[in-house]
Amino acid sequence: MRIAVLGTGGGGRAHAARLSELGHDVTVGTRDPERTMARTEADMMGNPPYPVWLADHPGIALATFADAAASADLVINGIDGANAVRELTAIGEHLDGKVLIDYAVPYEYNPDIPHKWETPWGWMPRLDPVDTDSLGERIQRALPRTRVVKACVTQEQETVVDPAGVGDGDHTMFVAGDDADAKAVVTELLRSYGWRDVLDLGPLACSRGMEMYAHMHTAIGLALGGRFGVKVVR
Amino acid sequence: MRIAVLGTGGGGRAHAARLSELGHDVTVGTRDPERTMARTEADMMGNPPYPVWLADHPGIALATFADAAASADLVINGIDGANAVRELTAIGEHLDGKVLIDYAVPYEYNPDIPHKWETPWGWMPRLDPVDTDSLGERIQRALPRTRVVKACVTQEQETVVDPAGVGDGDHTMFVAGDDADAKAVVTELLRSYGWRDVLDLGPLACSRGMEMYAHMHTAIGLALGGRFGVKVVR
C-alpha cells in the first residue's frame, strides 16, 4: 500500500520504519522538507536528527505534508496534537475519501515550560480538548470526507509497531471510528504489526476515553519503568 | 476490622456485603438513616430499596455518616463524586488519622438530564474536576489529616469485590496515595478480596488518570457487553 506518515517525530518514525519493513511504499510528510533535512540536532523528545534516522532507513521518501498525502492510499497522522487540525485542514483536499489513522494525544504544550515528564505530577501537559470532545472528533469535523480512525493511542509507539516485544504479545489495541470499512483496513494493518487482540470500541467519540487514558498510561509507565501493554480480560 | 462504608449505592453495598462476609464489623453510613430505611423504591441506578437489601445482609449496621465514621478504623467513601467533598468535610473530625479509600469518579450529574448511559456518547456525564486536578486530591486537601487512598476506581464494583469472577482473576487493581502505610493497609484489604495484582501508581495525583479512565472503561463495557478487567502486561 502507498502510505503517508505525517510528522517526523518518534511515533511517525516507528510507523514509517515498520511499514517500510513490511513492504509498503512509505512517504513521510513534513512541513518543510529542506528544513527537516538540514537538522543537525536531536528534537525536543531526544530523537536523533531526521537525516541521521533517514540514512538508516533507505527507501523511505520525504515530501511536504501535501505531496505525501496526495500520493497515498492511507495516511497516518503523526502531527502533534496542538497543530494537527490546522495542518490537516490545510491539506484537506488530499485527504478526501482516505483512511486517516490518528494516534495523537492532544497535549497542550506550553512553550514557557521546558518539555519534561517529571513525576506524577511535578509537571505534565494538560489535555485540550478533554472530556466532552477529543482531537479525533475535531479532525473528523474539520475533514468530513476523510475516514478518521483513532488507534495506536494507548501504547508507547515502540510497542504499537512491535506488540510482541511486551509479554507474549497478548495485550489489547483499541480502535474507534465512524466508518466500519476504514476500521477494517486499520485492523488489518494492525494485525500485520502483530496485534492479535484488536478491540473496536465503537464510534469516534470513543477517542475521548482513548486520549484521556494518557495520564493513566504515564502513571503506569512511571510506576513500572519499562515497556508494558494493557490486556482487556474478559 | 471496624469498617465504615459511606453511601448506600451499589458500590457501597458491594463493599459492605463482601467485608461483612470476610468477618469485618461493618457500618454503612447514610445522610439520614430513617429516610434510608423508609425507601420503598429502587434508586436512580436501579438498585433495590435499601431496606430490601439490608434484610438480605443481616449483621450490617446503618448509621449517620458521622456515627459510622466515628466508630471505624477504616472508612470507604462511596458518596457520589458531586457531594463527596462537602459530606466528608462535615464529618472531618471523625476521619482524622484514618485511612479513607475513595473509589468515586467525579461525574457532574445534571439534574436536567435523566440519568442514563446511552451510547458512546449519546449522553454521558462530564467529569469535574478533570485533567489538572482530581476528586481524590480534593478530598485530601479538604481533610489533610486523613490518609486518602484512591483505589477500586477502574472496575465495576461487582468486579472490585470479586476479581476472580472475571477471567481467571488475573487482572490489575490500581492504588494511589501519599501515605505508604495507608496504601499497605488498603493493599492487604484488596488481597483479601482476591486481588493478586495490585499496582501502586504512586502519589495521590495519579487519581487523575484513574478517574479519567472512566470514559475508556465505559466504552470497553459497551463494546463487550459484560464484565471485564484490565491487566497490565509487563
Size of interface A-B (CB pairs under 8 A): 144
Q: Which amino acid, residue A11?
A: G
For residue A205, give the nearest of B121, B130, B228 by CB distance.
Answer: B121
d(CA B149, CA B143): 12
d(CA B101, CA B95): 11
**Digit-coded pLDDT (tens) for B159-217:** 999 999 999 999 999 999 999 999 999 999 999 999 999 999 999 999 999 999 999 99
A127 at interface of B, judged by CB pairs closer than 8 A = yes
d(CA A162, CA A199): 17
d(CA A147, CA A178): 8
Residue B196: alpha-carbon gap to chain centroid: 19
Least confident of A104-108, A212-216, B53-57: A104-108
Task: Report residue A231 as a C-alpha cell.
Answer: 490486556
For residue B233, give the nearest of A126, A215, A231 by CB distance.
Answer: A231
**Digit-coded pLDDT (tens) for B121-163:** 556 778 999 998 999 999 999 999 999 999 999 999 999 999 9
Taking CB atoms and an 8 Å cutoff, what residues of chain B touch A210?
216, 219
- For B29, the enclosing helix (H) or strand (E) is strand B25-30
pLDDT score of A117: 52
List residues bridging with A31 in a β-sheet.
none
Q: What is the mean pLDDT of residues A43-67?
A: 93
**Digit-coded pLDDT (tens) for B59-97:** 999 999 999 999 999 999 999 888 999 999 999 999 999
pLDDT score of B148: 98
Taking CB atoms and an 8 Å cutoff, what residues of chain B touch A164?
none
Calculate how close chain B gets to A172, using CA atoms only, in Å.
9
Q: Which amino acid, residue A27?
A: T
- Geometric angle at alpha carbon A17, from A12 and A19, rounded to 5°: 95
Q: Is A59 exposed, middle or buried (0-12, 13-18, 19+ CB in 10 A)?
A: exposed
Q: Which of residues 13-42 of B touch A (CB under 8 A)?
A: none
Q: What is the mean pLDDT of residues A170-178?
A: 97
Calculate how close chain A gets to B41, using CA atoms only, in Å.
32
- Least Cα distance to A12 among A54, A70, A55 occurs for A54
Calculate how close chain A gets to B57, using CA atoms only, in Å.
29
Share of chain B above pLDDT 70, in %: 94
pLDDT at A186 over 90: yes
User: Domains in chain B, start-ordered, CATH in brackets?
Assistant: 2-224 (3.40.50.720)
What number of other Cβ atoms are within 10 A of residue B113's Cβ? 10
Check A213 against B217: CB less than 8 A apart: no
pLDDT score of B114: 53
Residue A20 has φ and ψ, to the nearest 5°, of: -65, -45
Check B228 against A232: CB less than 8 A apart: yes
- For B107, the enclosing helix (H) or strand (E) is strand B107-108
